[in-house]
Amino acid sequence: MTNPTPDGSSTAAAVRDRRSRAAHLLANASRRADLEWADLSNLPDWALRTSGEIDDLAWATGAWLHADALRRCIDGRLLALLRSRLGDAALAALSKASPAPATEREMPPLDLASIQPQQLDALLLASGRECLMACIEPSSVRRCLREHWWPNASAATTVPGRAAARAIVDLALAHRKPVTEEPLPPDTTP
């Protein structure tokens, strides 16, 4: 007999559903033959989102990964970029959050004095991607997901260990920008 989950479904049914969604997501991955069914059932919920949502999560994760440096930012251009990508509430939370000492020791310093907005944009996306990848086990699944989401991206950034990466992803998920269901009406101000 299977144990019911909080939504009333059985654990076995939930596992089958997760595996099915993960298999569908990675159906075109060239390395899919390296995967086991058990590997697919261990994917975190965020890994089963659309590519656009994953990129947004990666960017937010990169911001939380570099939160200690970003808290000291006074460059209006960079702050505008952070506000537009994270939203007001997440930027406020990032600004008020206590430093993450374990992450700070593992990350190279981020020099905000000489960085341009487009460089920060690329850096946060790249480091967030690697932080997301650090959360995925086993490596065969990690390779397939990287190939699926970012086939042309290199893994050249430093990220913290798995536990710290998971904590950072959890912060990004907890403070993600709300999604507007309907597009905003056009601005009609003269």
What does the pLDDT average to over 152-176? 82
The predicted pLDDT at position 184 comes to 39
Average pLDDT, the chain: 81
Report DSSP state, residue 7: T
pTM metric for this prediction: 0.80
Q: What is the pLDDT of residues 21-50, one digit of tens each?
A: 888 888 888 888 888 888 888 788 888 888
Tell me the mean pLDDT in the region 167-178.
87
d(CA 73, CA 116): 12
Residues 58-72: what's their mean pLDDT? 92
104-146 pLDDT, tens digit each: 556 677 888 889 999 999 999 998 999 999 888 888 888 888 8
Q: For the chain, give me the number of helices (H) and strands (E)? A: 10, 0
HSE-up (13 A, CA, CB side) for residue 47: 28
Q: Is the pLDDT of residue 84 over 90?
A: yes
Residue 174: pLDDT band with limits 50, 70, 90: very high
